[in-house]
A and B are shown apart, each in its own frame.
Chain A
Amino acid sequence: MRDHFEAVAGAIGELRQGGEDFLANYRAEDSTFIRFNKSAVRQPGQVREIELGLSLIDGRRIAEETLSLSGGVDEDRGRIARAMASLREVVAVSPEDPYLLVSETLANSERTIGEALPEAGDVIDAVTEAGKGRDLVGFYAGGPVFTGFANGRGQRNWDEARSFNADWSFYAGGDKAIKTSHAGFAWNRSAFTGAAADAASRLDILTRPPRTVPPGEYRAYLTPAALNEILGMLSWGGFGLAAHRTRATIFLRMIEGGAQLNERVTLTEATAAGSAPSFQREGFLKPEAVTLIERGAYRDCLVSPRSAAEYGAATNGASGSEYPASLDMAAGELPMADALKALGTGVYVSNLWYLNFSDRSGGRLTGMTRFATFWVENGEIVAPLNVMRFDDTIYRMLGSQLEALTEERALLLDPGTYDGRNLDSVRLPGALLAGLRFTL
């Protein structure tokens, strides 16, 4: 694919005219997708696609077109030529863009990550074997994802990630399940089998009669997967400079009202430690780390080139959405093995689901427990809990009520596949809360 990317970049360079500049964002994937239900195959498939995001720039005028490519150099040269001609017409009638900012520093980069990935047949064998005699439902996505950037100044950035993400649930009945994922950059069947066996070994407890507890405030332990759902809501317009300047951020009371989170909370966009590419669509490289919240206080924003131009700030290579791609939460001091004991009596939340804002300005979130949530007494799991709704503020959950973070952290690779396979990741601990408000 690298050769094809270089040919594409070369073709664009040859087709430009006069003082035109360009940005070329190349993305290709060759993905195996296999869906399972009832420990059997539901939909097995493969997707090969190449997409080029091409921006043509003339002075301060810019237009962008994203087009599918075939992989054949001659065919694609024709498609690019047609796109360039169309873009040229659009640029000619477009107004100047006051916030256009592209990298003027030549910064090449290259990364290749990942090793051997399984054939589809191996995945089907491994998953159906793991599900034998059980109710397994889940999804495997794997294969290479290629990301490239080129511009008219000759910059080249290339990222080649061969990864897999097996994400599945063993159901004990009804809505009670153990959800697990096994993801990485080198498939090892015995590691998958071990992870599946470990998940299955935790099923028995879900067969106990479930409890329902009345709405109210309870002590709670959030696993890293559950806490990730809350951090996902903070990431949704929380850390971007534009969201701060337009007062849309969930951190409004921190930046205007002096509110703080618990001093245990330090959040960093840790690009160097994550799995996402280190460059972005206007050609800027991302720094190794940007500290967003330090010991409970708001520090830096993610700044896209567009926001940098609009607000007179320096960009730190954020994407246009100013959404973190490699969020890292600092570890605490609670050994994960002691989480139940530290919880004492309360709710152990394995997974949260479908969070949204009850009051964004007020920092208030709601969401549901899902899969495996347990009622715990004196450090022992008593029974699975029926699903419950929480509704609480970040200033309590990550502030006054945050009692401890675990010393171990989990690296979670994003299983999302909406616009192609996502390469984002998070690294975060579990969290012990002195009180979490449940409402329904």
Chain B
Amino acid sequence: MFEEIERRFRRLAPAVDHCTLRIERRREEKLTVERDAPGPRRALESVGGMVTVRHQGGLGYAATSDCGESGLADAIARAIDLAALSANRMVPGFPGPVPFTVDETYTGPQAQPWAVVPLADRLTMLADASKRLRIDERIADWGAAFWSIDKEQWFLDAAGGRIVQRFHYLQPTLWASASAQGETQRRTFGDAGMRVGGAEVLDQLGFATAPERVAHEAIELLEAPNCPEGAMDIVLAPDQMVLQIHESIGHPLELDRILGDERNYAGTSFVTPDMFGTFRYGSDLLNITFDPGVAEEVASYAYDDEGTKATREYLIKDGILMRPLGGATSQARAKLPGVANERACSWNRPPIDRMSNINLEPGEGSLADLVGKVERGVYMESNRSWSIDDSRNKFQFGCEYARSIKDGELGGVVRNPNYRGISSGFWRSLKGVGGADVFAVAGTPYCGKGEPNQAVKVGHATPPCLFGGVDVFGGA
């Protein structure tokens, strides 16, 4: 299919300053067993292409699910028309095209191909997990699911370039809600657990042993007291650090936000161009990288969707802000260095500046070492609530599960843990960063942004971290 469409594109390529075609075939499967009942197997095969034309200072894109001769020709004509309409009317500093001529292929790892696991076996695993979640009559809702995605993308430049990238993603999830006397507590597994890979992802994440723990923790939460209130230290597990990094570092560093593109929808940023190179974003312990090379992390790739080669870069080094998350287009507009992060969620959406893998580099020590530094505080796991202002400054986040900390030891479970703060001040209160042994890879498929809207896969790898003097509180 791809070869045939490529031949067609090269034959039809118009005489314009620059023309590309991005073709994608995405196959997905969702399997769910909910409250012990198997739901229908849901599959998807989405196929289409996007033509992008740049000509005489204008830009136009046209996407189509018809990549046949007439469909492709029509898309090219529509993209040319839009480029003509926008010529000399584009945003200030909009750069000229940078054609690419490389011919490269990148394939993400998949040690144990998911496709060879028979459907019946996949369903049996889910049914078994579901049964093991119902440990108590107070479990009011429970279930298990697998979401697998097989994606192949060909990015073609009429100038001769061809970048082929293939990925397989898997996300296993479990959930259990316990309810009694007007209170419901939910515990999940895998909400931030999407990875590149096949069946090996289940072992990496510990899916086989998770159901009983998830259900027991839901019951524990139901019986637990409310989270204490006040200013105190908190230790955040990697599956909450993911959200903290995402909302209060990843989004504010997106260069298209800083340039104002997102002000009507996803928001702006408290970060301004003059801060790069000097602004103290966090304590000396804070080191943040854009790292497309952690193979199992969901946003690892060789090139972004504008054909820029992806390399590892420090965004924040020793607490100092170094560079934004901006692709070639935004870099030219802002006259700042950036990274290869112009990404589209699918063939029917244009690339914009996105997070990819945004990681907090490990420090030293174990979780117990971090907890050992706390006189009075709370340890929190698994995000359940996220809210932050449109400049990405004032935030309030909540977690599913928490334990009190007293005199350097973990105490009892507490429920409804929430905390709030302001981004830069919060990161300057970073007092401890776990080491490489507790560094965990996580990923989510639900990062939303852009007009038209796009949800992309974003990876975050991080150890647990300790913050001092945070405003903590519980439920209603």
The reply to whether B65 and A69 form a contact with Cβ atoms under 8 Å apart is yes
Q: Which of B44-52, B427-435, B459-467 contacts A (4 or more CB under 8 A)?
A: B44-52
Question: B114: shortest Cβ distance to chain A, in Å?
Answer: 15
The reply to whether A48 and B66 form a contact with Cβ atoms under 8 Å apart is yes
The reply to whether B260 and A124 form a contact with Cβ atoms under 8 Å apart is no
- A45-B350, A68-B46, A358-B418 as given contacts; A95 in contact with B63, CB under 8 Å: no
Residue of chain A at shortest CB distance from B119: A93
The reply to whether A356 and B386 form a contact with Cβ atoms under 8 Å apart is yes
The reply to whether A97 and B38 form a contact with Cβ atoms under 8 Å apart is yes
Question: A313: shortest Cβ distance to chain B, in Å?
Answer: 15
In B224-281, the 8 Å CB interface with A consists of: 259-261, 263-265, 267-268
The reply to whether A46 and B78 form a contact with Cβ atoms under 8 Å apart is yes
In A46-105, the 8 Å CB interface with B consists of: 46-51, 55, 62-72, 75, 83, 86, 90, 93-95, 97-100
- Taken residue by residue from 156 to 174, chain A's Cβ proximity to chain B (1 for < 8 Å, 0 otherwise) reads as 0000000000011101000
Question: A428: shortest Cβ distance to chain B, in Å?
Answer: 21
Question: A144: shortest Cβ distance to chain B, in Å?
Answer: 15
B132 close to chain A: CB less than 8 A? no
A362 close to chain B: CB less than 8 A? yes
Residue of chain A at shortest CB distance from B179: A247
- A50-B65, A248-B186, A417-B451 as given contacts; A41 in contact with B348, CB under 8 Å: no
B396 close to chain A: CB less than 8 A? yes
A5 close to chain B: CB less than 8 A? no
The reply to whether B44 and A42 form a contact with Cβ atoms under 8 Å apart is no
- A41-B89, A389-B396 as given contacts; A66 in contact with B420, CB under 8 Å: no
B193 close to chain A: CB less than 8 A? no
Size class of the B contact interface (CB-based, 8 Å): 35 or more
In A92-147, the 8 Å CB interface with B consists of: 93-95, 97-100, 120-121, 124, 128, 135, 137-139, 141
B387 close to chain A: CB less than 8 A? yes
- Taken residue by residue from 263 to 305, chain B's Cβ proximity to chain A (1 for < 8 Å, 0 otherwise) reads as 1110110000000000000000000000000000000000000
Footprint of B on A, CB under 8 Å?
31, 33, 35, 37-38, 40-51, 55, 62-72, 75, 83, 86, 90, 93-95, 97-100, 120-121, 124, 128, 135, 137-139, 141, 167-169, 171, 175, 177, 179, 245-248, 252-253, 256-257, 306, 310, 353-364, 366-368, 370, 387, 389, 391, 393, 416-418, 439-440
Subset of 19 A-B contacts with CB under 8 Å: A33-B452, A35-B451, A40-B89, A41-B90, A43-B61, A45-B79, A48-B63, A63-B43, A65-B44, A95-B38, A124-B89, A171-B260, A246-B35, A246-B179, A256-B182, A353-B267, A359-B418, A361-B476, A366-B387
User: Which 10 residue pairs are nearest across A and B when measured between Cβ atoms?
Assistant: A362-B476, A359-B475, A246-B141, A247-B179, A139-B451, A45-B61, A417-B452, A70-B66, A49-B65, A68-B65
Known: A67-B47, A440-B394. 12 other contacts (CB 8 A): A48-B66, A55-B40, A93-B119, A120-B85, A124-B85, A137-B264, A246-B179, A247-B177, A361-B476, A363-B476, A389-B396, A417-B451
Footprint of A on B, CB under 8 Å?
35, 37-48, 59-68, 71, 75, 78-79, 81-82, 85-86, 89-92, 119-120, 123, 140-141, 177, 179, 181-186, 259-261, 263-265, 267-268, 348-350, 352, 384-391, 394, 396, 398, 416, 418, 420, 422, 448, 451-455, 474-476
